[in-house]
Amino acid sequence: MSDRTTTTDPEDLARRYGTPLYVYDLDRLRAARRDLFGWLPDGFEVFYAFKANPHVDLVRALREGEGPACKAEISSTGELAAALEAGYPGADILYTGPGKTPEELNTAIGSGVRTFSAESLTDLEHIGAAATRHGTVADCLLRINSAQASATTSIRMTGAPTQFGIDSETVAELAPKLREVPGTAIAGLHLFSQSNARDEEALIGELTHTIEVAAAIQDDLGVELRLLDIGGGFSVPYAQHGERAAYPKLKAELEAALDVHFPRWRQGAPRLAVESGRYLVGDSGTLVARVSNVKVSRGRKFVIADAGINTFGGMSGLGRLLPVTVSVEAGAETEKASLVGPLCTPGDVLGRQIEVPVLEAGDLVRIPNTGAYGPTSSLLMFLGRPAPAEAVVSAGELVSVTRIAHVRTSLRQEDTGE
């Protein structure tokens, strides 16, 4: 829907459209895109990781407007549909993931996607088989699981046994087979070693190490790289107050590393790319929830809201994303309380003993920096509660208000492939 209203304040929108409500500000999203391109050497491409937030209005804004456009990094046919709806051409889509099925590969290639991240020799063979069926050749980035890393991060993606990537120490032995898979051409490498780097020094250390590893892998493969995706790790607070990280030293450090290991990179050999999800959309979002009840149990206060892990923080079971913080007006009285959701499970906790205003049933609370890993990474269907509403605002105007619907449909026998 398209609408106009006199205010785009999150709490005013929540009163109008109900809670829980996400409000995404496209102006902040565009600022993040501008900043990220600004931290990088000229010519770098940026792939937006749809898993952070596939909302069509957000992903459309990342490829439109002033400045360089983001490309799309996806790993499902659902994300593919969102990318296509938002106007991303197949040529601007990188399809990733360790478990690509024949059906989704067929759909992706049939939709014009030609660039894939291959996680193993067999994954490469599956991509090649699908491309051959379509009478085409897929450009493949070999995802590499580097044996070593240079930084300690909140989410480590390399250096251990994993479903992600080809172990770097096996590339030389596998190279002849990798080069000969029908329906594929090795276009480059995909290395993603971390998420949410702790600081600029850690990010620089990891990305420059990645460049060094990529140069060695290029030698092992015996193939000149056309595209090198060095991953990401750009940091933004998650559901806590704070600002996106700044990276004033990154450009010079990356340029220096590339000059050493890929001396023709300034001429586009290879093209360079990073990928980012939360950095681009994280601080664009605010979650507004309404307090349903307040109770005390054995001396501890619990604020029960209508937003739980079915709305936000479903990934909190991984033990690395919460607690949240809520907005507190200057000078307001505060207290310690646990912010919990409405679900019938003790795991429905958004924050344990956090600082909150003195709240009563009916009050609204704001959780900041919730533009990434919100509804689509939560337990949306658990206990059958409605999905939260999602409002998009831009330049002081309301762009859209939508809600994800849960619909059960019947399958015909031919739909199941049986």
Read out DSSP for 102-150?
HHHHHHHHHTT--EEEE-SHHHHHHHHHHHHHTT--EEEEEEEE-S--S
In a domain, 142, yes or no: yes
49-63, 80-94, 188-202: least confident range? 188-202
- For the residues of 73-100, what is the DSSP string, one character each? EE-SHHHHHHHHHTT--GGGEEE--TT-
> CA-to-CA distance for 3 and 220, rounded, in angstroms?
56
In a domain, 32, yes or no: no
pLDDT at 1: 45
Neighbours of 326 (CB within 10 A): 26
pLDDT, greater one: 398 or 163 = 398
CATH of the domain at 256: 3.20.20.10
pLDDT, greater one: 179 or 2 = 179
pLDDT at 318: 46
Q: Look at residue 319 and tell me whether its pLDDT is greater than 90.
A: no
In a domain, 375, yes or no: no
> CA-to-CA distance for 193 and 319, rounded, in angstroms?
19
Work out the mean pLDDT of the chain and round it to a whole number.
Answer: 91
CA–CA distance from 63 to each of 156, 169, 211, 316, 379 (Å)? 29, 37, 26, 30, 29
| Pairing of the two strands 71-74 and 271-276 | unpaired
pLDDT at 262: 98
2-6, 162-166, 263-267: least confident range? 2-6
Q: pLDDT-based confidence at 411, cuts 50/70/90?
A: confident
The closest of 407, 382, 390 to 54, measured between CA atoms, is 390
- Reduce the DSSP state of residue 162 to 3 states and report it: coil
In a domain, 22, yes or no: no
> CA-to-CA distance for 337 and 340, rounded, in angstroms?
9
pLDDT at 17: 96
In a domain, 84, yes or no: no
- Reduce the DSSP state of residue 377 to 3 states and report it: helix
> CA-to-CA distance for 11 and 23, rounded, in angstroms?
9
Average pLDDT over residues 141-159: 64
Average pLDDT over residues 123-133: 97
Task: Determine which helix (DSSP H) or strand (DSSP E) holds 329, and give its type and residue range.
Answer: none
Q: pLDDT-based confidence at 24, cuts 50/70/90?
A: very high
pLDDT at 315: 61
Torsion angle (degrees, nearest 10) of CA 215, 217, 223, 228: -60
Q: pLDDT-based confidence at 220, cuts 50/70/90?
A: very high
Task: Determine which helix (DSSP H) or strand (DSSP E) holds 242, and give its type and residue range.
Answer: none
In a domain, 87, yes or no: no
Q: What is the pTM of this model?
A: 0.92
> CA-to-CA distance for 276 and 235, rounded, in angstroms?
9
Give the Cα-Cα-Cα angle 197, 99, 319 (nearest 5 degrees): 40
Peptide bond into 323 cis (omega under 30): yes
In a domain, 4, yes or no: no
Q: Look at residue 151 and tell me whether its pLDDT is greater than 80.
A: no
Beta bridge partners of 194: 156
pLDDT per residue over 32-86, tens digit each? 999 999 999 999 999 999 999 999 999 999 999 999 999 999 999 999 999 999 9
Q: pLDDT-based confidence at 148, cuts 50/70/90?
A: low
353: left (phi over 0), alpha (psi -120 to 50) or beta: left
Average pLDDT over residues 260-281: 97
How many domains does the chain contain in total?
1
Asked if 287 and 387 count as a contact pair (C-beta separation under 8 A), the reply is no
pLDDT at 198: 85
> CA-to-CA distance for 116 and 127, rounded, in angstroms?
8
Length of the chain: 418
In a domain, 136, yes or no: yes
37-41, 183-187, 377-381: least confident range? 377-381
Residue 151 φ then ψ, to 5°: -140, 155
Give residue 131's domain range. 96-276
| Pairing of the two strands 138-145 and 71-74 | unpaired
- Reduce the DSSP state of residue 346 to 3 states and report it: coil
